[in-house]
Amino acid sequence: MDVDSTVKGFYEQILQRNAGEPEFHQAVSEVLASLRYVLRKDPHYADNGLIQRLTEPERQIIFRVPWIDDQGQVQVNRGFRVQFNSVLGPYKGGLRFHPSVNLGIIKFLGFEQIFKNSLTGLPIGGGKGGSDFDPKGKSDMEIMRFCQSFMTELERHIGDKVDVPAGDIGVGGREIGYLFGQYRRMTGRHVSGTLTGKGLTWGGSLVRTEATGYGCVYFTQEMMASRGDRLHGAKVIISGSGNVAIYAIEKAQELGATVVAFSDSSGYVSTPDGVDVELLRDIKEVRRLRVSDYVKETNGATFHKGGNIWETEADVALPCATQNELDGEAAKLLADHGVKYVAEGANMPCTHDAIQVFKKRKIDFAPGKAANAGGVATSALEMQQNASRDSWTFEYTDKRLRDIMRNIFKNAARTAEDYDVPRDFVVGANIAGFKKVADAMIAQGVI
Ligand code: GLU
């Protein structure tokens, strides 16, 4: 088999069948590039339409979400749930509420989720959903009415054995509460395993809030330790200031690093003496303000309006904001400034060009499907607790998370070595995630 032309053929079909979805093309093309290594050794993975089936969602749901704003006006948004692959378990993945959401974005996120969830080692399939609803500036009651309308349609498509949504950008504890309330009211049942990221008194898990950020730092620790380095004393850039960034900052600093910059879409804050996490959490999560407000309430921090966070000097960079926030030029800046490690806390924050620069400049790079898998892994631990009507301690759950992240690192590193590309964690994670899903798909027949 001529692997290169076979893979090229698959990709051309993808472009044709999914026109106008550049983020989905990007996510698929990255996985296909890794699969060349697999197909050279094991060409049977191209048989029986496996690649075509893997890149075609099992089900895509698009629905109208009408709601009434505080002025009494009707607003109409679009809701999505892409149920991508359920070969390993019920569809699992978050909901994103952001004006940039469209079908292509949800498909890219759902596709990534398949391999990420496979890497966790837990029995969860891949899915993703959301809406182009913009939560920014909305009142609490508007958020509630929107969530209730969204769930009124989504309810018939989800369930603890079917599809288990959770949070993502724009969807946190408050939104999960309103969504769960409406689900419970509509079904007349308290089935806690239907959503994850719930409040602690009604089926939520300790550590779930912290898990994506903590997990990304645990992964970074493993990657550094494999070179004899450690976070203690290191300078770290963490972009973003949402749920992932906040807890990545907290854990990195707990381990003795100094977080020298964080950001939001308006600019970045440089913090040469480190970040006051309590203040940041209060500003972002309680008062729902912007990062520019952080500098008004503390000393030694400066706000760079519209600035480029990647021009900061550091040893480690953790992009934790959103897709394609770090391009080739930014990657060169990081390399010139001495960054040695990059791990993605967000989903696909580094462009293809950025990843090429990291490779050329010998920077260790951890892709999101490995480095940010801690969130969904802890969601699966929440499902386990719900199924057994139990709740675990913080220490026990955190240890489970740490072990999962260590195993993902080992698995990605070992797989990269097996395919003769040592320390290529992109190839390692893609292949390790893929093989488990592909073997299960082969075992379960052409579905
Ligand atoms: N949205 C998160 C992710 O990108 C978590 C999903 C979940 O917990 O189901 O993996």
Task: Report strand pairing: 163-166 vs 91-97.
Answer: parallel
CB distance 258 to 354 below 8 Å: no
Which among 128, 138, 235, 340 is annotated as catalytic?
Answer: 128
Integer Cα distance of 391 and 199 in angstroms: 12
* Angle, helix 425-443 to helix 394-418, in steps of 10 degrees: 100
| All domains in the chain, ordered by first residue | 1-56+424-447 (1.10.285.10), 59-191 (3.40.50.10860), 212-362 (3.40.50.720)
Integer Cα distance of 374 and 212 in angstroms: 5
Ligand 1 atom, smallest distance to 168 CA: 1
pLDDT of amino acid 116: 98
| CA 93 to ligand 1 centroid distance, Å | 5
Ligand 1 atom, smallest distance to 116 CA: 10
Give the burial class of 431: count Cβ atoms within 10 A of its Cβ; 0-12 exposed, 13-18 middle, 19 or more buried: buried
Q: Which residue has the tokens 């602690």?
A: 200
Token pair of 395, please?
């220490």
Q: One-letter amino acid identity for 164?
A: V
- Tell me how far the alpha carbon of residue 52 is from its chain's centroid: 24
CB distance 83 to 107 below 8 Å: no
pLDDT beyond 90 at 96: yes
Instruction: Report, as an integer, the average pLDDT of 11-30.
Output: 98
Integer Cα distance of 146 and 281 in angstroms: 25
Ligand 1 atom, smallest distance to 92 CA: 9
Instruction: Report, as an integer, the average pLDDT of 239-247.
Output: 98
Distances (CA, A) of 294 to 235, 310, 320, 421: 20, 19, 18, 43
Mutate to test the pocket of ligand 1, among 86, 168, 194, 196 (most ligand atoms within 8 A of CB): 168
**Nearest CA-CA partner of 364 in 412, 430, 308, 434:** 412
| CA 361 to ligand 1 centroid distance, Å | 31
Q: Is 322 helix (H, G, I), strand (E, B) or coil?
A: coil
Mutate to test the pocket of ligand 1, among 81, 322, 379 (most ligand atoms within 8 A of CB): 379
Integer Cα distance of 374 and 400 in angstroms: 10
Q: Return the residue whose CA atom lies nearest to atom 5 of ligand 1.
A: 376
Distances (CA, A) of 107 to 38, 102, 348: 24, 9, 13
pLDDT beyond 90 at 1: no
| CA 109 to ligand 1 centroid distance, Å | 9
pLDDT beyond 90 at 221: yes
CB distance 116 to 128 below 8 Å: no
pLDDT of amino acid 227: 98
Q: Summarize pLDDT for 251-305 with one digit per residue, the tens.
A: 999 999 999 999 999 999 999 999 999 999 999 999 999 999 999 999 999 999 9
Integer Cα distance of 177 and 195 in angstroms: 10
The CA R_g of the chain, rounded to the nearest whole Å, is 21
Q: One-letter amino acid identity for 84?
A: F
DSSP codes of every residue in 195-244: SSS--GGGT--TTTTTHHHHHHHHHHHHHHHTTT--STT-EEEEE--SHH
| CA 212 to ligand 1 centroid distance, Å | 8
pLDDT of amino acid 23: 98
Beta bridge partners of 168: 171
Integer Cα distance of 250 and 274 in angstroms: 10
Q: Return the residue whose CA atom lies nearest to atom 10 of ligand 1.
A: 376
| CA 271 to ligand 1 centroid distance, Å | 29
Distances (CA, A) of 177 to 171, 195, 202: 10, 10, 9
CB distance 371 to 220 below 8 Å: yes
pLDDT beyond 90 at 237: yes
**Nearest CA-CA partner of 364 in 248, 258, 274, 229:** 229
* Angle, helix 140-154 to helix 173-187, in steps of 10 degrees: 50
Ligand 1 atom, smallest distance to 117 CA: 10
- Ligand 1, pocket residues at CB < 6 Å: 92-94, 116, 166, 168, 196, 347, 375-376, 379
Q: Residues 184, 188, 194, 196: what is their CA dihedral angle, to the nearest 10 degrees?
A: 30
Q: Summarize pLDDT for 129-165 with one digit per residue, the tens.
A: 999 999 999 999 999 999 999 999 999 999 999 999 9
Mutate to test the pocket of ligand 1, among 376, 383, 384, 401 (most ligand atoms within 8 A of CB): 376
pLDDT of amino acid 225: 98
Contacts for 361-365 with beta carbons within 8 Å, 24 or more apart? 361/331, 361/335, 363/331, 363/334, 363/335, 363/339, 364/223, 364/227, 364/340, 364/423, 364/425, 365/425, 365/426
Integer Cα distance of 135 and 387 in angstroms: 32
| CA 342 to ligand 1 centroid distance, Å | 20
Q: Summarize pLDDT for 348-403 with one digit per residue, the tens.
A: 999 999 999 999 999 999 999 999 999 999 999 999 999 999 999 999 999 999 99
Residues near 192 by beta carbon (within 8 Å), at least 6 away in sequence:
160, 198, 202, 203, 386
| CA 168 to ligand 1 centroid distance, Å | 6
Cα 136–Cα 377–Cα 201 angle in degrees, nearest 5? 65
Q: Return the residue whose CA atom lies nearest to atom 8 of ligand 1.
A: 376
Q: Return the residue whose CA atom lies nearest to atom 9 of ligand 1.
A: 93
Integer Cα distance of 251 and 265 in angstroms: 23
| CA 381 to ligand 1 centroid distance, Å | 13
Q: Note the helical H segments in 277-393.
A: 277-281, 292-296, 328-336, 352-360, 368-371, 374-387
Ligand 1 atom, smallest distance to 95 CA: 1
* Residue 128 a catalytic site member: yes
Mutate to test the pocket of ligand 1, among 113, 369, 386 (most ligand atoms within 8 A of CB): 113
Integer Cα distance of 426 and 429 in angstroms: 5
pLDDT of amino acid 41: 95
Ligand 1 atom, smallest distance to 113 CA: 10
pLDDT of amino acid 38: 97
Integer Cα distance of 241 and 285 in angstroms: 10
Ligand 1 atom, smallest distance to 96 CA: 1
